[in-house]
Chains A and B, each alone.
Chain A
Amino acid sequence: MATQSHDVEALIKKRYEHGFHTDIETDTVPPGLDEDVICLISNKKHEPDWLLQWRLEAFRAWQKMKTPTWQHIKHAPIDYQAISYYSAPKSKDDAPQSLDEVDPKLLETYEKLGIPLHEQKMLAGVAVDAVFDSVSVATTFKEKLHEAGVIFCSFSEAVQNHPDLVKQYLGSVVPQGDNFFAALNSAVFTDGSFVYIPKGVKCPMELSTYFRINAMNTGQFERTLIVADEGSQVSYLEGCTAPQRDENQLHAAVVELVALDDANIKYSTVQNWYPGDENGVGGIYNFVTKRGDARGNNSRISWTQVETGSAITWKYPSCILRGDNSVGEFYSVAVTSNWQQADTGTKMIHLGKNTKSTIVSKGISAMHGDQAYRGLVRIAPTATNARNYTQCDSLLMGDQCGAHTFPYMEVRNNSAKVEHEATTSKIGEDQLFYCRSRGITEEDAVNMIVNGFCKDVFKELPMEFAVEAQKLLGVTLEGAVG
C-alpha cells in the first residue's frame, strides 16, 4: 500500500502545462497603494469623476477593514503595498482596432494556450473578450451581438460608452464595502467585462472571456457586470490559465449579475490558474466575490464552476432570490491537489415567495490538498414556500488530504423546505481494481471514476466547456489514488 501511494504521488506531480512567461513591455505603476494611485488608475482610464469618487469611497472603507480570518485556509500575510496596481500591455496605438495592431507576442501567448484569436473569430457561436493582464486588447464578434442589441465589451469601454448603465448597476449587488477583497477590488479594479442584454432578447451566442495573468507582481482586479433585462437570456463562460511563476499573485475579482423579471443568466467558470509547485511554492491567490441578484419575478441565476487551479481559492458564488418564483442554482467541482487550499461554496438568500435553490457541490482532494465547502441557505420571513436542496459530496485521494463541510442554514419561515445531503468517500481501491482488471490503465480508471463523481455538475456546463473540464480534471489528477 505504501509503495502504491508513492507511485500515485509521482503521477500527480505533473507539471503545469501552461507554465511560460511572455516577455512583453508593460506599462506598470510602481508597487504601493494610496489615493494617488487610485487617481492615477482612474485618470489613465479617462474615467468620469463619479467613478473616481466611488473608488475612493471603496478605498476609505477598505482601509478600515481587516483581512478576514474565518476561512479554513492558511497563507502568509499579504503585503498590499508590495503589489503594483496597474499594468497594461503596450501597443503602438493606445487602443488596437484590429488583431493586426495587437502585439504579436500577445497573440503568441494565446496560441500557446490553444486559443488563437484569428481562429476564434471563425469559431461560430463564441465571442471572446480576451483580457491580458488588466486591459482588454481584443474583442471579437461584436457586430453580430450589436445587431441583437447586446452590449458585450470591456468594462473600460462600458464606462466610456454606456456610463448610465454602469452607474445604475455597478455595486448594486456587491456594494463597495461588502467585504475586504470586494472593497479592494472596488478601489483599484482596472478592467473586466460588461454585458447588457436588452428586454426580451435571447443572446445569440455564448459569451466567453479568457483571463490570463502575466506581468510579475501585478495583482489582477477584474470587475464583471452582467445585466439581463426583462425576459432576456444569456450564457456567459469564463476560463483562465496563468504562466508559471514563484511569486504568489493576488487575484481579487468581483462579478455582479442582475436578472430582472423573467430573465435568465447562466454563468460558467473553468478556473485553471497556476496552483503552485509540488512544494507549495508560488501559485495564485484567488479571492473572488461573485454574486447574482435575481431581482425580478420568475428570474433565474445559475452558477456552474470547475475549480482546478490556484494555490488558494476563496469564493462563494451566491444568489439573492429577491423576485417571487426566482430560482438560484450552484453546481461546483473543486479540486485541490499538491498543497492547494480551497474554501468555497455558495449562499442562497431566499427573500421572494416560492423561491427555489439547488446546490450541488463536488469536492476532490488529493496529495496535501485541503478544502472546505461552506454554504449558507437563508430563508427570510418573507420567503413563503421557499425550497432548497443541497447535495455536498467529497472525494479523497490518499491519506494526507482533507475535506470539510460547513453548512449553515437560517430558516425564518415555517413553510420552507430545506434538504441537505452530504457524503465523504475515498476513491475506492475496489473501483480502481475493478476497472484495471478489465484492461483499463490506472490513469484512465481514475479519470473515469472522478468524472463519474462529477457528472451531475459537468452536465450543467455548455458542451465545449464540459469537454475542456473533463480534460482538465484528467490532467490535474493523473493517477491519483489512495
Chain B
Amino acid sequence: MLSIKNLHAQVDDTDILKGVDLEIKPGEIHAIMGPNGSGKSTLANVLAGRDDYTVTAGEILFEGQNLADMAPEERACAGLFLAFQYPVEIPGVNNIYLLKAALNAIRKSRGEDALDAVEFMKLVRERMKLVKLNEDLLNRSVNEGFSGGEKKRNEIFQMAVLEPKLAILDETDSGLDIDALKIVAEGVNAMRSPERSMILVTHYQRLLDYIKPDHVHVLADGKIIKSGDEQLAKELEERGYEWVKQEAAAA
C-alpha cells in the first residue's frame, strides 16, 4: 500500500526528516510515536502534500504511484486522507457543501457519477452516527465555532464519508477528553477493514488503548529508531523516550 524509502524532507530550509523507511500493507494500522519536534507531523504533512514541505531525497510510493509527483487533491483522489491536528475554519463555507464537493471530486476522478443530493444525504446520515456528530454541525461553516472535540469528530466523519484507502490521523487524540476520545476511537475502529490502512500519529499510548495498532514505530530526530508491536507503546508510556534514543545511539 505505502512504501517510504530513505525519505528526507525540509520545512523552511531546515531538515526535519532524515531518512525515514516505512512499509505499510493493506489493512494494517501503524502508530507513529515520538517526542515533540521529532518530525511526526512533518511526516503526515509530507504524505498529504502540503506546499512548503519539500522532499529532498528518497521516495514515497502509494500503490505504486510516486506521491511526490502528485498534487494534494490528486493524492486525495488516489485514496489518501489526512485527519488534521488543527482543522482550519473556513467562514461562509457550509460544512456539508465542502464534503459533497470533495466526495464528488473523488468520485469523478474514479470515473463514477456524482451523488445526487438524496443519495449524498443518505450516506451522510449513516456515517454521522459513527462519530455521534451533532446534526446542526452539518450546516454550519466548516469548523467555525466548533469545539475542539467537534472538530476532531468532524475529521473522522469526513473520513467515513470519503472512505480513503490510507488514512493518516495526525494527533487526533490531542485535546480530547476521555469520552470524546472513546467516540472518535469507535468511529475509527468502525472504519477498519482489510483494505484500509491507517497511520496514527500520537504522543501518548492512551489512544492505542482504544485503537489497537499492528505496528508501533518511534520517530526521533527525523528517523524511525525503533519498531515493535503494541507492547512497545506500553513500554514507552512507562519509561519515556530517552532509553530508546540511547539504545539507538549505542547501536
Contacts and interface: CB of A to CB of B under 8 A. Distances in A.
B90 A440 contact: no
B72 interface: yes
Contacts of A456: 92
B158 interface: yes
B82 to A, nearest CB: 5
B71 interface: yes
A436 B88 CA distance: 13
A433 B71 CA distance: 10
A381 interface: no
Interface string B128-161: 0000000000000110000000000000001000
Nearest to B90: A431
Given A429-B51, A433-B51, A444-B105, A438 B76 contact: yes
A63 B162 CA distance: 67
A439 B77 contact: yes
A452 B109 contact: no
B51 A439 contact: no
Contacts of A454: 92
B209 interface: no
A169 B150 CA distance: 57
Contacts of A440: 73, 98, 101-102, 105
A428 B91 contact: no
A453 B92 contact: yes
A452 B102 contact: no
Contacts of B51: 1, 4, 429, 433
A442 B97 CA distance: 16
B192 interface: no
Contacts of A428: 88
Interface in B41-93: 48-52, 71-73, 75-77, 81-82, 84, 87-88, 90-93
B124 interface: no
B168 to A, nearest CB: 10
Contacts, number: 82
Interface in A416-443: 428-431, 433-442
A441 B105 contact: yes
A448 interface: yes
A91 B75 CA distance: 59
A455 interface: yes
Contacts of B224: none
A439 B97 CA distance: 13
Contacts of B48: 433, 437
Interface string B91-130: 1110001110111011001000000000000000000000
A4 B87 CA distance: 22
B49 A439 contact: no
A433 B73 contact: no
A453 B93 CA distance: 8
B112 to A, nearest CB: 13
A472 interface: no
Nearest to B86: A430
A28 interface: no
Nearest to B91: A452
A437 B49 contact: yes
Contacts of B97: 448
Contacts of A438: 73, 76, 98-99, 102, 105, 158, 162
B88 A431 contact: yes
Contacts of B103: 439
B209 to A, nearest CB: 28
Tell me whether chain A's interface is mostly helix, strand or loop, or mixed: helix
B92 A441 contact: no
A437 B101 contact: no
B41 to A, nearest CB: 13
A455 B99 CA distance: 18
Contact of B101 (A430, A434, A442, A448): A448
Nearest to B80: A437
A79 B241 CA distance: 76
B29 to A, nearest CB: 20
B162 A439 contact: yes
Interface in B166-191: none
A439 B76 CA distance: 5
Contacts of A455: 92
A449 interface: yes
B75 to A, nearest CB: 8
A358 interface: no
Given A428-B88, A439-B162, A452 B93 contact: yes
B222 to A, nearest CB: 22
A38 B158 CA distance: 66
Contacts of B90: 431, 434-435, 448-449, 452
A1 B52 contact: yes
A433 B50 contact: yes
**Which of A429, A452, A453 counts the most B-chain CB atoms under 10 A from its CB?**
A452
A448 B88 CA distance: 14
A455 to B, nearest CB: 4
Given A4-B51, A452-B91, A435 B106 contact: no
Contacts of B50: 433
A444 B52 CA distance: 20
A438 B51 CA distance: 15
Nearest to B71: A436
A451 interface: yes
Contacts of A431: 88, 90
Contacts of A453: 91-92
Contacts of A441: 73, 105
Nearest to A434: B88
B225 to A, nearest CB: 28
Interface string B201-219: 0000000000000000000
B82 A437 contact: yes
B73 A436 contact: yes
Given A1-B52, A434-B87, A440-B105, 11 more contacts: A4-B51, A429-B52, A433-B50, A434-B142, A435-B98, A438-B158, A439-B105, A441-B73, A448-B97, A448-B98, A449-B93
Sort A-B residue pairs by CB-CB distance and give the 5 closest, nearest first. Answer: A452-B92, A439-B76, A452-B93, A438-B102, A455-B92
Interface of B: 48-52, 71-73, 75-77, 81-82, 84, 87-88, 90-93, 97-99, 101-103, 105-106, 109, 141-142, 158, 162
19 contacts: A433-B48, A433-B50, A433-B51, A433-B72, A435-B102, A436-B71, A437-B73, A438-B73, A438-B162, A439-B76, A439-B103, A440-B73, A440-B98, A440-B105, A441-B73, A448-B90, A448-B93, A448-B98, A449-B90
